[in-house]
Amino acid sequence: MMFYLNYLTFLSTFFESHFIFILSHNDKLVYEKMSNKKFEDVMIKEIYEEDLINVKYLIDEVSDFAYKSLIPKEGYEYLKNNLWGLDVLKKDAKEGYTIVVKDDDKIIGTGTIVGDYISKVYIKPEYHGRGLGKLIVKWLEDKAKSNGVKTIFLASNVYAEKFYTKLGYTTTENREMSTPNGYVFKLSWMKKDT
């Protein structure tokens, strides 16, 4: 299904012991069966300029939660400023397609696809385990498919590799990357045919 949608609202409805999220846009409804873990009304929309700073705060918050204690300060600061800095977020949003997930006007998740490459999929820690990451990735995959992309690529850290494997991605290569200040980190390059 093609998702050229700028604005969708997800309404949770209980049906046969599963929550079904109804995606409404104009008068069309699409049903997506999700796990029976509940979350409130959630909205997915394409990012706007005014969302960028809040996306930056979200990515910083999630990265602080996940990586700050594992990566030496110099390496972490380099990644924070160069891989998910505000200028990079703006460039990706302009060249590709970035979405945000909102709950009560608060950004709780984001993801980007530029061409055939998915990046920057982040969910606030308190929303982990509710299917939002899967939903964001599927949304981005559908956007890529609608643009004729046959194979989608991403680079995963070791912590997220299992998540992407469950979504059908396979590891094609493990690489070590280093920052100019000497920090080395490991990434798994992954792909999935659409």
Residue 84: the pLDDT is: 84
Which pTM does this prediction carry? 0.76
Q: Cα separation of 87 and 65, whole Å?
A: 22
Pairing between β-strand 106-114 and β-strand 28-33 as defined by DSSP bridges: unpaired
Q: Cα separation of 127 and 67, whole Å?
A: 17
Phi and psi at 48, nearest 5°, equal -115, 160
- Confidence tier at 42 by pLDDT (50, 70, 90): low
Q: What percent of the chain has pLDDT over 70?
A: 78
The whole-number average pLDDT for the span 129-156 is: 94
Residue 24: the pLDDT is: 31
Pairing between β-strand 151-157 and β-strand 117-123 as defined by DSSP bridges: parallel
The residue with greater pLDDT, 38 or 9, is: 38
Query: What is the residue-wise DSSP string for the chain?
Result: -----SEEEEEEEEETTEEEEEEEETTEEEEEE--S-----EEEEE--GGGHHHHHHHHHHHHHHHTTTTS-HHHHHHHHHHTS-HHHHHHHHHHSEEEEEEETTEEEEEEEEETTEEEEEEE-GGGTTSSHHHHHHHHHHHHHHHTT-SEEEEEEETTTHHHHHHTT-EEEEEEEEE-TTS-EEEEEEEEEE-
pLDDT in tens, 74-127: 778 888 888 888 999 999 999 999 999 988 888 999 999 999 999 999 999 988
Structural domains of the chain sorted by starting position, each given as residue range(s) with its CATH number in brackets: 7-150 (3.40.630.30)
